[in-house]
Amino acid sequence: MLCSALLRNGINHLRYVEQGVREWMELHEYESVQQMQGSMSQLRCPDPAVFERAQYMRAVKSLQHVLVRG
């Protein structure tokens, strides 16, 4: 999606994307990208079963999208 946005809006669109990421990080109290790495990992999830269920639901929805289009 980022590639498409850059093709449509030009390379200067990166400034807009960067500002959005900075604002999101500040809102969620992240100080660096490195701090975010692995934060969505199943290993850090307080309830791994919920994480697995969410991944399953994402996969099913993705498959439904493919089947409907095909």
- Measure Cα distances from 2 to 6, 12, 43, 55, 63 in Å: 6, 12, 28, 23, 23
Considering the domain architecture, whether residues 1 and 32 belong to the same structural domain is answered as yes
Number of domains present in the structure of the chain = 2
Considering the domain architecture, whether residues 26 and 47 belong to the same structural domain is answered as no
pTM (whole model) above 0.75 = no
Considering the domain architecture, whether residues 30 and 56 belong to the same structural domain is answered as no
pLDDT surpassing 80 at residue 70: no
Residues 11-64: tens digit of each pLDDT = 999 999 999 999 999 998 999 988 888 776 767 777 777 767 777 888 887 776
Q: How far apart are CA 36 and CA 50, in angstroms?
A: 20
Q: Give me the domain span that covers residue 31.
A: 1-37
